[in-house]
Amino acid sequence: MNPAPGATAVRLRILAILVMMSFIAYVLRTNLSFAAPEMMADLDLTEIQWGWVMAAFTAGYTIFQFPGGVLGDRIGPRRMLAAIAVMWAILTAATSLVPGRDGFSVALIVGMLMLVRFLVGATHAPTFPVVNTSVVRWFPPGSWALPLGLSSTGLTLGGAAGAIAVPLMVAQYGWRPTFLIIAPLGLVVAVLWWRYARDDPRQHPGVNEAEAEYIEADRGDVQAEIDAEAELGGGGQPAWLKVLKNRDVLLLTLSYSSMNFVFYIVFSWFFYYLVEVRGFSATDAGLIASAQWIAGAVGATLGGWLCDRMCRKLGLRWGCRWPVIIGMGGSAVLILVGAWHPSPTIAVSALVLLFFFNQLNEGPYWASSVAIGGKQAGAAGGVMNTGANAMGVVNALLVPWLGVTFGWTVAIASAAVFALVGLGFMLLVRSDRAIA
């Protein structure tokens, strides 16, 4: 169904702000990684000490996925996203205030950095679960995957922009002023979201009846579930407990976590693999990594569009499955080519293209969590993303062990196994069966 003639397009402006928020979130989330060499040298920290700082973010991010999603469902996306964006700005600025080595112990410096990064992870954790809730409220069923895919496009472009801008600013101004300069980005998007967004399209003064009817079209029981104010689901169980016990949420989490193992191969190890294993210079490796992020942005957008199109033709069950079948199957093949092909050029080209297929999955997975979660879409997305980021810990421990024990060919190729396992789990997911 297309919008009626004369329908307003407030939902598209809401989506634009959500994409901007995803972009800024990744700039402010990854800044520490891009400033790492200068910070480690300035604070006289070892790689092991820095590893603890980086792990603190992952811990906060993983722990607060589900609680953040539940809280977002309770208080609404408008208040939740505005509040956490303000916290991004405060904590980014607070990072610049960590004391230096003059008169302060290493233990104190590392401890303060770990505390700040844990809080950064905790305040970033609810972002995408709550974006879930916003999309399900502002777009009709069958049109969720593209908006969710575009939010993933925003984060990949934010990662690419941060990789270019932050090192340049650090070289020009130093790491402390750089954090103070970029911190207000969080305040900008918080104010913009608070002033323009509403939790219910009918509460927005710019939405006319034609757009409201388009958003609500074909919802049926889904609309009732989204708009219901009851705290309890059927059988007297709290709604969040029903999410945790739901078969399809758990299968979706296992599938998405497997997909995320492939993501962390790219995120954590690709640059190292290019330089140390395939013999590229650091400059060339940076350009290749940038190309990979751009390929991921294209894949995330296309995957969302493809999922929505297939959902309208085939229904939610197979409409959400087919893009993942394509994305995971393509990922498995390209991983094996990238790991085993003797030509560095062909191998690296395959691994760049791999990220396109990996991000093809993002919109379908998040659309599935929305469809299954209903009113509890934020909680369902929180469970899914908790598993996905816990897989980052598995990746951080397993991949280097495989590299040392069996060689980096096996370490990289291991991601193909996870891609196929994730595909298998997705074939068991019923995206057409909501929790309530």
Looking at residue 400, what is its pLDDT? 79
Q: How far apart are CA 312 and CA 332, in angstroms?
A: 28
Share of residues in the chain with pLDDT > 70 (%): 92
Looking at residue 219, what is its pLDDT? 65
Contact assessment for residue 134 and residue 12, using Cβ atoms and an 8 Å cutoff: no
Contact assessment for residue 131 and residue 151, using Cβ atoms and an 8 Å cutoff: yes
Looking at residue 226, what is its pLDDT? 42
Q: Please give the CATH superfamily to which domain 232-436 belongs.
A: MFS general substrate transporter like domains (1.20.1250.20)
Mean pLDDT of the region 168-182: 91
Task: Give me the chain's average pLDDT, please.
Answer: 85
Residue 223: pLDDT above 70? no
Strand partners, 232: 238
Contact assessment for residue 325 and residue 199, using Cβ atoms and an 8 Å cutoff: no
Q: Say which DSSP state 375 is in.
A: G
List pLDDT tens digits, range 156-170. Answer: 888 788 877 888 888
Q: How is residue 12 written in tokens?
A: 């598209």
How is domain 1-218 classified at the CATH fold level? Growth Hormone; Chain: A; (1.20.1250)
Q: How far apart are CA 31 and CA 90, in angstroms?
A: 14
Question: Confidence band (pLDDT; 50, 70, 90) for 208?
Answer: very high
Residue 58: pLDDT above 90? no
Which of 152-156, 191-195, 396-400 has the least mean pLDDT? 396-400
Residue 172: pLDDT above 50? yes
Residue 141: pLDDT above 80? no
Mean pLDDT of the region 69-77: 86
Q: How far apart are CA 415 and CA 330, in angstroms?
A: 12
Residue 93: pLDDT above 90? yes
Contact assessment for residue 131 and residue 25, using Cβ atoms and an 8 Å cutoff: no
Question: Confidence band (pLDDT; 50, 70, 90) for 92?
Answer: very high
**In angstroms, how far is CA 366 from the centroid of its own chain?**
10
Q: Among 238-242, 265-269, 351-355, 384-388, name the most confident range.
A: 351-355
Q: How far apart are CA 326 and CA 344, in angstroms?
A: 25
Q: How far apart are CA 137 and CA 107, in angstroms?
A: 46
Residue 232: pLDDT above 50? no
Mean pLDDT of the region 423-428: 96
Q: How is residue 370 written in tokens?
A: 């929305």
The neighbour count for residue 81, using CB atoms within 10 Å, is 26
Give the DSSP letter string of 175-221. Answer: HHHHHHHHTHHHHHHHHHHHHH--SSGGG-TT--HHHHHHHHTT-TH
Looking at residue 304, what is its pLDDT? 86
Q: How far apart are CA 102 and CA 423, in angstroms?
A: 53
Residue 236: pLDDT above 70? no
Q: How far apart are CA 222 and CA 141, in angstroms?
A: 8
Contact residues for 55 (Cβ-Cβ < 8 A; gap 6+): none
Q: What are phi and psi of 232, to 5 degrees?
A: -105, 145
Find, among 147, 138, 112, 148, the residue nearest to 207 by Cα: 138
List pLDDT tens digits, range 101-131. Answer: 777 788 899 899 999 999 999 999 889 888 8
Q: How is residue 318 written in tokens?
A: 């197979």
Domain(s) labelled CATH 1.20.1250.20 in the chain stretch across 1-218, 232-436
Looking at residue 180, what is its pLDDT? 95
Question: Confidence band (pLDDT; 50, 70, 90) for 1?
Answer: low
Q: How far apart are CA 380 and CA 245, in angstroms?
A: 11
Contact residues for 362 (Cβ-Cβ < 8 A; gap 6+): 148, 149, 152, 299, 300, 303, 304
List pLDDT tens digits, range 30-50. Answer: 888 778 778 888 888 876 787
Q: How far apart are CA 55 and CA 37, in angstroms?
A: 17
Scanning the structure block, which residue is given the tokens 């970029």? Answer: 182
Which of 121-135, 148-162, 227-241, 361-375 has the least mean pLDDT? 227-241
